[in-house]
Amino acid sequence: MYFIAIAVGLIMLLILWSRIELNILTTTEYKITSEKLGNEFSDRTFVVLSDLHNHSIGKDNRKLIDKIHSIHPDFILIAGDMVTKRQFCIPSNAFTLLKTLSKKYRIYYAYGNHEQYFEGLMEGMHNLSGKDSDRIKRQNLYSTWVEYKKRLQKLGVVFLDNQGIALTKKGSLFLSGVSLDKKYYLRTVKKKDRTNGVSSVKEYLMENL
């Protein structure tokens, strides 16, 4: 009984910490220098956002938005997983956040595995077994993803799904968004084969960039 009480207590602490952690905002700053960039890209600042998974840091993401404003970035890079599998993309915290930020900043959006999940929802629908409700749910999720992209594109957000764009007129800096197949994600690779998995990612990038 004593050990059960300890186990329950530890589980409750883990749940409490996970909720607290979701509201902790931390930033890491990197300074990139290279002669190849030239003067055209000197003194530029950008913010990278990823893995928010439709979460809000502070009410209406106010903490996050205020932090971004304090940095005064020239543009914002999205490194994927702003949305979450099996949750509607509209309405969502992710859409509201990007809509607000797009009013002031140029945004470039690359996919993570959650965005790729939505892109692939309609694949193999004719082979999908199960209830009609499963098909309807999948169609509804996909329609919110389509609307999410459509509205953000109208707001000026640039999606980079296996695409690239020059950030400078002379092309000294080229930004690419690579949408990896799910087999390249480490979680899908057996532990003993993880080294080969990383090597495959490197080969994929070399072939596609």
Taking only the tens place, the pLDDT of each residue in 69-112 is: 999 999 999 999 999 998 999 999 999 999 999 999 999 999 99
Q: What is the pTM of this model?
A: 0.80
Residues 6+ apart with CB under 8 A from 161: 110, 111, 119, 177, 179
Q: Is 103 helix (H, G, I), strand (E, B) or coil?
A: coil
Average pLDDT of the segment spanning 34-58:
85
Q: Alpha helix (H) ranges present in the chain?
A: 2-21, 62-71, 93-102, 113-119, 132-154, 194-208
Where in the chain are the domains? Answer: 35-178, 179-209
Residue 17, pLDDT score: 47
Residue 13, pLDDT score: 58
Q: Enter the tokens of residue 159.
A: 């999606």
Q: Is the pLDDT of residue 141 over 50?
A: yes
* Per-chain mean pLDDT for the chain: 81
